[in-house]
Amino acid sequence: MACSDKVETTSADIALGKVVISLSGISDSKAGFEVQLRNTQTNSIFIEKTNAEGTATFSVTPGIYEATATKKELTGHNVYYIYNGTSGQIAVRKDVSTPVSMEMRKARTSQVVIKELYNGGCMKDDGVTFFQYDKSFILYNNGDQAVSLSNLCMGFCAPANAHANNRNYTDDGKLTYEAEGFIPCWNGVWYFPNTLTIEPYSQVVVNICGAIDNTQTVSASVNYANADYYCMYDPESGYYNTNYYPTPSALIPSSHYLKAVIMGLGNGWPFSMSSPAFVVFQIPEGTNPREYCTNSENLWYSGGDVKQTNACAKVPNDWIVDAIEVFSSDYKEGSLKRLTADIDAGYVWLTNRHGHTLYRNVDQQATEALEENAGKLVYNYQLGVDGSTDPSSIDAEASLKNGAHIIYQDTNNSTNDFHERQRCSLKE
C-alpha cells in the first residue's frame, strides 16, 4: 500500500469486549446506580447506569479494568446512606463477554468530614530540594447542628504507600480483612485527649508535623502559628523525632496537643507524603484509645507476619467517621486500594512536592438550597490541577469568606468527593 493511501477506521473495525456488571447486596431499587469502569493502563473512565435488574453493560477495548459503583440516598433530615461497591481487576478480551458480580455495601455518612488533606510537601526556596515536614488536615462540620466527639482518633492503613508491595490481598483480588468488618491502622494512632466540639459549618485545623510558622524558612510552606489550631505533639509517646515534631508555636495552647499510642516501631508517625489511606474514627465511650490499641486482642499484623513492625490496630468499620484513599500520580499503575468499598469506594490522585492539597468538592445542590447563601456564593473556581477540579464551579474558600455556609459532597468515594488543588487553603 502506498504511503499516501488512507484507510478510514469505523467503530465496527475496532475489536471490543463486553463487561456485564451485576450489583448484589441491595435491599431497595437496583436501578440508577452509577457504575464507573476505569482502564488501569490509560486511566480512561466509562460510565453507565444500572437497569431495573441492577446490571450495567459496557463495550470497551481489551485491557485491564477496575469498576466502582455508588448511590446516595436521603433517608431523613440531613441523614444519608451510601451504597458503594468495587471490583477486583477485570480482564477484558476481544469479542468476549465478561460477567462481573459486585457486592454493594451500605454505610451512613457522617456529619463530620475530612475537608482537606495536605500531605505532599512543597519545594524549598532553592527550587531544587523539597520540604515535607508541614502536613495537616482539616475536619469540617457538614451540618447545621454542633457536633461533640469524644475519643476521636486518626490513623492510616498499611502499607503506608498505595504503590508499595501490598501483601493483604487474596488470590482472587480481595482484601484479606474485607469480610471481617475492620480497617487496619498501622504503626500508631493519634487522638484528641478531650471531647472535640465543632460548630455548624465550621472547621478544625490539625497539624500532623511541623506545628510552627514554616514560612519563615520555606516560603511555599504553611504557617501553623495559630491559637485556634491543633497539633500532633506527644514526645512522651515515643514519637519524639524533632524533624517531625519541633516544639509547637507558643500560640498553640498545650490543651490543643493531640496524644499518641504506638503499636509499631519508629520515632515519627510515618504518614505518607505521596499516597496515604487516612482514617478518622471514634472509639465508643468506655474504652480509651490507649487501652484499645495496646490490647493484643485488638491487634492485627499486615501481611500476616507477626512482628511489631507490622502491628496494626483493628478499627471496626462502624467506628469510622470519614476516610480518604490517595494514589500517587507518579504511580499510575501498580497502586492498590487499602480501604474497603463501604469506607471509600474510590481514590484521588496527588502530585506531591508542589504544595498541592486534596480538597473536598462542594455539594452544589445542597449548598445552593440554603436560603442564607443568597448572594454569597462565589463561582468560577480556578484552583484545580490538570483537569482535576470541583465540578460545581463554586469557590468554597471565597464563598466562606463571603459569609456563605458550604455543604461538601460526601459519597464515601474519594474519586467523586475530592479534587487536587493548587495550594493548601491555609495559605489564603
Beta bridge partners of 141: 112
Q: What is the pLDDT of residues 145-165, one digit of tens each?
A: 999 999 999 999 999 999 999
| pLDDT beyond 50 at 4 | no
Q: How far apart are CA 264 and CA 309, in angstroms?
A: 5
Spatial CA neighbour of 361 closest among 344, 377, 384: 384
Residue 86 has a pLDDT of 85
Sequence spans of domains, the chain: 16-108, 112-361+408-427
Matching residue, cell 507476619 = 305
Q: What percent of the chain has pLDDT over 90?
A: 83
Q: What percent of the chain has pLDDT over 70?
A: 95
Q: How far apart are CA 69 and CA 48, in angstroms?
A: 10
The class of domain 16-108 in CATH terms is mainly beta
Q: How far apart are CA 55 and CA 22, in angstroms?
A: 4
Instruction: Write the CB contacts of 418 (distance below 8 Å, at least 6 apart in sequence).
Output: 324, 348, 358, 359, 360, 361
What are the Cα distances from residue 387, in Å, to 119, 334, 391, 392? 20, 22, 10, 14
What are the Cα distances from residue 158, in Å, to 155, 300, 312, 325? 10, 11, 8, 12
Q: What integer is the mean pLDDT of 319-325?
A: 97
End-to-end CA distance of the chain: 61
Contact 183, 279 (CB under 8 A): yes
CB atoms within 10 A of CB 22: 15
Q: Could you tell me how far CA 199 lies from the centroid of its own chain? A: 23
Instruction: Write the CB contacts of 182 (distance below 8 Å, at least 6 apart in sequence).
Output: 300, 314, 315, 316, 317
What pTM value is reported for the model?
0.83
Q: How far apart are CA 63 and CA 329, in angstroms?
A: 20
Residue 3 has a pLDDT of 40
At residue 225 the predicted structure's pLDDT band, cuts being 50, 70 and 90, is very high
Q: What integer is the mean pLDDT of 192-216?
A: 98
Instruction: Write the CB contacts of 268 (distance below 8 Å, at least 6 apart in sequence).
Output: 209, 239, 241, 243, 244, 245
Q: What is the pLDDT of residues 76-118, one digit of tens each?
A: 544 567 788 888 789 999 999 999 998 888 776 789 999 999 9
Question: Grid coordinates standing for 33?
Answer: 446506580
